[in-house]
Chains A and B, each alone.
Chain A
């Protein structure tokens, strides 16, 4: 999918440039934007190094587990299908905690482990279970406390206050996460009469 979009943007661009007579601008754009991409990546090194260093301390100190305990009541409500004290709960909590802290690298392995457990709970079928879809919905709407990458980009473009989008992002993610959970519930109950169970 990404491949078609990528090729499409380039090829359509070249064709339109041919018709419009803007081929000189396109030539210039190719090389200036490639250079800009590299400059941008280098500008992001500072904040990525700093933030991932701090987060490693949080991880080693066991803050993930502390967050997991705090969020236990919420998880029980979100995933009513999972038996009490099942290992899937721990993985889901760690996944949510890592997402919350913007630890994408930690969140994905935890999420996959949670999925493995949920598959076992679902009798090893190759079909998505209710809890699996809920977990996905929460992950795609990603509740994030600190959008690190965005702050880094804003900094490299000399923003007056690169962090002033933290609160709006928090509100918007909260809305999209609640929305995702409600939509998930809606489709689950709608699937009931037909699918049985």
Chain B
């Protein structure tokens, strides 16, 4: 566990250092390039606002009304059978449909349970470990006019399921074993 944690801490500074030195070696105008790329970051953050507002409002309405509790209660026996925490199940489903929707749910779970709680860490890992299957499928196949997807959707969805279960297993083993 200590190794995993120090790997996480060292990884980012090492990567940044490497990129900066490599850029300098390749005679990239590092500072100007950094500023140029940084501007994109600002517009991405601003562009996310409407997605987050829309999703967070819908989720909080669903939760504040008590509807989410009913759903959880109904599903709990099924998921506890497989040791799956019911709190992250809606996230797992949303993750395949909408990346920004899942991002809203992840933020909500982190806000409710705390970033360093089991659920908070689990939600973070689930969010990071799969991509939005429907989005990728739509964009990539749509762009080149593929109409017959064959077994692509099945593969994408099963991969999501594996990512979801792997996240639960990894977080349980690394932090709470």
Kindly name the residue among B106, B132, B156 whose own CB sees the greatest number of chain A CB atoms within 10 A: B156
Residue in A33, A162, A165, A176 whose beta carbon sits within 8 Å of that of B60 in the complex: A33
- Residues of A near B162 (CB, < 8 A) are 141, 175-176, 179-180, 183
Kindly name the residue among A13, A36, A132 whose own CB sees the greatest number of chain B CB atoms within 10 A: A13
> Secondary structure at chain B's binding surface: helix, strand, loop or mixed?
helix
A146-184 to B contact mask, C-beta < 8 Å, 1/0: 110110011001111111111111011101110110011
> Known interface pairs A140-B159, A184-B155. Does A6 touch B58 (Cβ–Cβ under 8 Å)?
yes
- How far, in angstroms, from A58 to B26 measured CA to CA in the complex? 10
Residue in A112, A135, A179 whose beta carbon sits within 8 Å of that of B158 in the complex: A179
* Stretch of B1-9, B72-80, B81-89 on the interface side: B1-9
Residue in B8, B19, B64, B143 whose beta carbon sits within 8 Å of that of A28 in the complex: B64
Q: Are B159 and A115 in touch, CB under 8 angstroms? A: no
A15-54 to B contact mask, C-beta < 8 Å, 1/0: 0110010100110111011101110111011011111111
Q: Are A187 and B20 in touch, CB under 8 angstroms? A: no
> Secondary structure at chain A's binding surface: helix, strand, loop or mixed?
helix
Q: Are B66 and A20 in touch, CB under 8 angstroms? A: yes
Q: Are A41 and B121 in touch, CB under 8 angstroms? A: no
- Residues of A near B25 (CB, < 8 A) are 61
- How far, in angstroms, from A168 to B55 measured CA to CA in the complex? 26
- How far, in angstroms, from A25 to B52 measured CA to CA in the complex? 20
- Inter-chain residue pair count (beta carbon < 8 A): 362
Total number of A residues with any Cβ neighbor in B under 8 Å: 99
Q: For the complex formed, measure the closest distance between the CB of B66 and the CB atoms of chain A, giving whole angstroms.
A: 5
- Any B CB within 8 A of the CB of A62: yes
Chain B interface residues toward A at CB < 8 A: 4-5, 7-9, 11-12, 15-16, 19-20, 22-23, 25-26, 28, 30, 33-42, 44-46, 48-49, 52-67, 70, 94, 97-98, 101, 103-104, 106-107, 110-111, 114-116, 120-121, 124-134, 136-137, 139-141, 143-152, 154-156, 158-160, 162-163, 166-167, 170-171, 174-175
